[in-house]
Every structure is written in structure tokens, then in C-alpha cells.
Amino acid sequence: MAFSRREFIGVTAAGLIAATSPDFLSTLQLQAQSPLTPDEALKQLMDGNERFVAHRLTSFEHDLDILKASNEEKQEPFAAVLSCADSRVPVELIFDQTIGHIFVTRVAGNVTTPEIIASLEYGAAVLGVKVILVLGHTGCGAVKAAIQGKEVPGQISALFPHIQPAIDQAGSDLAAVTKANAQIQARLLRESSPVIEPMVKETKLSVVAGVYDIVTGKVALA
């Protein structure tokens, strides 16, 4: 039986509904989570990016021994980022954050696979992140390859169907498709997850899209 992408995501996520019952969450949920609101969490990310662009990083000033000790038993990130796997996008660095601050998932093309959704559901429901940022970037090789649609080796082409809706929407311009892809993946997270969707509706969580410029270092919300 064939499933559409939305149906496939819904089926794979359905098994997580039981796992996010109150009993399950009360067992796993951390005692201390970020007190930030979704808007404050997003501002903290963007303020960090401003410091990164201005070469005024503060994250390296933290005592790493203290940070490691405070994160031994638990993690308390205030934000989650779905980023491309591209090595030029060092997530913690570009937001001037340090150990334990950002829950990061990475996959080429920053696409929402069932595994990525499951990870971000955990970040939202169990770890208590307040904002999820889907982060595309300029010069993305996965997006470029999907636009070209040429034959590629191995499993690389498995990424293409996830990016195709952005190509259908934005055409063949790399920058436009990159932005559209980030927006579409963020919308899928908001609408396709039985865990994330109600948290967004209750304003407990924000899901946004952005694009990182690998030349300037600037993140622009999309």
C-alpha cells in the first residue's frame, strides 16, 4: 500500500502518541527546564548570531569543567535546530551557544524525515525546548543536487523527494528553493507531528525557519 509523504510521516509518528502520554512524560521529563518563553528563546538564538557576526563571542568564556559537570546528569536545552549536515554550518558556534544549550539534529538538506521528527518531538516534549529552528544555508549541495535532478550514486537521491515541494514552489533558483525548503520543513513539523502541533497551538513552542549565509555568517528568519 502506497502512502503520501504526509501519510507516511503520520503513520510513523503515530506510534509516538502513546509514548507521549502523561505517564510516559512524567517518567522522562526533566525536573528543570528552560524558563524562557518561545519568543525569548528565539531572541536568545538571534542575539547569539549577532555576536557571532560581530566577532564578539561569549560562549568560549564559560568554564567547560563547570558546564560538563552541570550536564552530566541531564540536558536542559532552550532551543532545537534542524540543520543541514554541511560542515560549514557549526550550529552552536553561529548562535554563540555552548554545551547543553541547543538540541541539534542534522541531515543533508535539513529535511523532516520520521527519525528527525521523532528526535525533535523528544526535544520538545521531554527536554522542554521552547523554539525549533529549521535552518537552511546558502550554497546547499543537497538542494542544488535536487534542483539538477541528475543521477547520483548510492542513497543520495533519497533526499530529493523531500526537497521537491520547494522546487515546485520556487523554481530553479537555489536561494529561493533553499528558503522555501526551510519554510516547508518547518510547516511540516508544525502540522504533521501529533506532539509538536498541539504545543505550537498552546503557544508552548514556536517552530520557525531561517537561512544561514555561509559568507556573512548572518542568519535571516524566513
Q: Say how far apart CA 215 and CA 88 lie, in whole Å.
A: 10
Model pTM score: 0.83
Give the pLDDT confidence score for residue 197 in this predicted structure: 96
∠ CA 123-212-136, nearest 5°, is 60
Regions of the chain with pLDDT less than 70:
1-33, 66, 71
Give the pLDDT confidence score for residue 20 in this predicted structure: 47
> Which phi and psi angles does 152 have, rounded to 5°?
-130, 155
Q: Say how far apart CA 166 and CA 182 lie, in whole Å.
A: 9
Which grid coordinates belong to 136?
Answer: 537552511
Give the pLDDT confidence score for residue 123 in this predicted structure: 96
Asked if 47 and 135 count as a contact pair (C-beta separation under 8 A), the reply is: no
- Which tens digit of pLDDT belongs to each residue from 136-174? 999 999 999 999 999 999 999 999 999 999 999 999 999
Domains of the chain plus CATH, in order, are 5-221 (3.40.1050.10)
What are the start-end ranges of the H helices in the chain? 5-19, 22-28, 38-53, 64-70, 91-94, 114-125, 141-148, 160-170, 174-192, 196-201
